Structures are given as C-alpha cells and as structure tokens.
Amino acid sequence: MIGGGQGAFIGAVHRHAAALDGLYELVAGAFSSNPETSKASGQLLGLAPERVYASYEELIQQEKERPEAERVQVISIVTPNHLHFAPAKLALENGFHVILDKPMTFSLAEAKELEHVAAASGCRFCLTHTYTGYPMVKEARQLVASGELGTIRKAYVEYPQGWLSTFEEGGANKQASWRTDPARSGVAGAMGDIGTHAFNLLEYVSGLTVTQLCADINTVVSGRQLDDDGAVLLRLSGGASGVLVATQVAAGEENNVRLRVYGEKGGLEWQQADANTLQVKWLDRPTEIRRTGAGYVSSYARHNTRTPAGHPEGYLEAFANLYRNFALSLQADLSGTTAPPEALDYPSIAEGVRGMAFIENVIASGRSNQKWTEFTV
C-alpha cells in the first residue's frame, strides 16, 4: 500500500476491503511522505520493518528486486489526488498490478498518459468506484442491459453530503484540508470528490455515455477555493437526457447517493441508505421490490453477495467486491484460465479517463456562458 497511514480515512477502508475474503495479504507499504509516520504505521499493522519504506520509489525498487515468489503482486494507492499518477505509473512500468482510489489522476492529461502506460505494461488496473460493487447496483445494470425497461429515456443521480457546510479546512480536519486545496485536489472540489462517483454510477447502470452537458457550479462557503455544490444537465448517447447533482453543503445529509433510470417500459430506483433494495417500476403493473440475496436476482448480483437474504451488506462489502473481483481475475491470469464475466466486472482505466474528462468538462461548462458544451475526452 502507498499512502493510508496514521490519520488517513480511506486507507483503513481499503485494508478492510482487501482482507474481507482472505485473498490478499498486506506485506509492504510506504504509508506516508513522512518516513517516521510510515514506519510507525507499518509497525501498527504488524509488518516486517524492512518492508516498510520511506517513499513509494523505494518500495517499488526494492520490491522488484525481491525474488518473484516473495515480492508484492498488487500495489494499492490511496494517496490524495495529486499523488496518484506518479506512483501508479511507476508501479505499472515495473510490472505491478495497481488498485487506485478515485479520481484516477490530478488531470485528464495525466489520465490519458496513464492509460497508455497501463496498456503497454500488460498489468491489470482497478479504480475503486465503490458504488458499482453493490449487488443491487449490479442487478440494476443487468436489468437495463437485458432491455426489460426498453430504450432508456431519462436518468437522475444525486449525491448529497453536508460535512463541508462550514469552513472545515480552516481547522485541523485533514480530509477537508486536501479536498478543498487546488494544489492537491485539482480543478474540482465536490464535483471531483463525489460528482465523479455519481457520474460513474449513472454511466455504469444506464449503459449510456454523456455526450453534452450544461453545468451550474457553485462555491457556497466563504473562503473556499473549490466548488462545494453543483448541478448538471446531461445529454446521453441514444437520445436520453439526465440530471446530476453533487453537493457537500446539504446540512444534515450523509452519503445517500441515489440513482433513478427510466426507460419506455419502466424504471428503477436505488439508494445507498437502503442498499439492499432495488425498486423496479412498471407502466402497467405494481412496483417490484428486488432484494439482495434473493434467488431471482441476476448472476452478477449473486456473485457479489456474501450472506443470505435479510442480512444487510453495505459499504465495506461493496468495496470488498472490487478487491475480490480483481483478485479472481489475477488468479485466472496466473492459472491460464478465463475468469467468469462476473469477476471481470470492476472499474478500470477507461472509467478513470472518463471520470477525469467529466471533472474538466463540468468545470469548464460551469465557467462558460454557453448553455451546452460538448463532452470531450
């Protein structure tokens, strides 16, 4: 692991997710840009001192020099945005598979370069868009892909948070500090942090791509340098339209990302606050309630479910599904077999490039006086 040392939030989530199915063992890390913090973090995690490194360069170089049977196989990168590209590029160039937190890079230019590096490396790459790991999100995607809803006409996705309703970056809140800093977060605040999740979820479930957008981007809290609120009108491939809302100043809200997709025959609704339920709505019959763990769900939903129906699975399990599917794909590669399609269903480099394109397009649109701008990658 690179990053995720003491005081970091997402590093612990990654470690729990990786450990859930027993398919990974954490054996090495460069957990902080501060060598002492990295050392202390490695000690708390029970790692051998010689495999706790002072920098990501040292980690990659020394692990590559180890015998193949001993060196790490996968490097998980959980640093702030501006420190995604360089370690990911170096890891791929040296033959290590990469799991990377989103958004993929600091800029679209970096994302495109990383895409070329990954293709040339022959290594696998996973981007942790967590919400695509939920069983009922998998079910929603399969329902749309089957054509049961008919041609998709409309999609709504919203991600409301309230934790940045005040000037949190003015104090000791490390998460607020780097997420609102253009030098570390990039050109976007809320739209980069949570808007990319909403964008990815909409495209993943609908099977459509954004072709044009019209954005209203706001900075509500006085003194903040990046956006903390926004709404985007979307035009999608196939003639559909959509709306995306992402805000971090909705006081009292937590993380209830919500998606609705409507076709000519019916629609669906999913929200994280009731993640084990998918509502399917029809023109001519009562609404269906599909539940995680039920025998009638798709193979993709079953593959990503661990417990019997009625036993809630949540955020950590969804995160773990990405790690698990990535491991299963690597195991298939090593054994010379083909992984089942359900195991290959995790976000990769292409989603990362589109996510960075979304960030740059939506900020450019918000600054423009044009009603509609083309979505360019």
Other CB atoms within 10 Å distance of the CB of residue 129: 25
pLDDT at 267: 98
Fold of 134-311+349-367: Dihydrodipicolinate Reductase; domain 2 (3.30.360)
Residue ranges in the chain assigned as alpha helix (H): 10-19, 35-44, 56-64, 85-93, 108-121, 135-145, 174-179, 182-185, 190, 196-206, 299-303, 315-335, 349-367
> DSSP states of 198-229 as a string?
HHHHHHHHH---EEEEEEEEE--STT-SS--E
Q: What are the pLDDT digits (tens) for 47-102? A: 999 999 999 999 999 999 999 999 999 999 999 999 999 999 999 999 999 999 99
Task: Find residue 290's DSSP bridge partners.
Answer: 278
Q: Residue 81 has which token pair?
A: 């945005």
d(CA 362, CA 372): 11
Residue 54's Cβ-count burial label (10 Å; 0-12, 13-18, 19+) is middle
Residues of the chain with CATH 3.40.50.720: 10-123
Q: Running DSSP on this structure, what letter comes out for residue 264?
A: S
Indicate the CATH number of 10-123 among 3.30.1150.10, 3.40.50.720, 1.10.260.40, 3.40.718.10: 3.40.50.720
End-to-end Cα spacing for the chain = 30
d(CA 316, CA 29): 21
pLDDT at 253: 98
pLDDT at 9: 86
Q: Residue 242 has which token pair?
A: 């959509």
Q: Running DSSP on this structure, what letter comes out for residue 122?
A: T
At residue 6, the 3 state secondary structure works out as coil
- Which residues, other chains included, contact 368 with Cβ-Cβ below 8 Å and sequence gap of 6+? none
301 with 292: CB under 8 angstroms? yes
pLDDT at 31: 97
The pTM for the full model equals: 0.96
pLDDT at 172: 86
Can you list the residues of the chain whose pLDDT is less than 50? none
What angle do the packed helices 315-335 and 10-19 form, to 10 degrees?
60
At residue 288, the 3 state secondary structure works out as strand
Residues of the chain with CATH 3.30.360.10: 134-311+349-367
Q: Residue 205 has which token pair?
A: 């479930």
255 with 270: CB under 8 angstroms? no
pLDDT at 7: 82
pLDDT at 369: 84
pLDDT at 8: 85
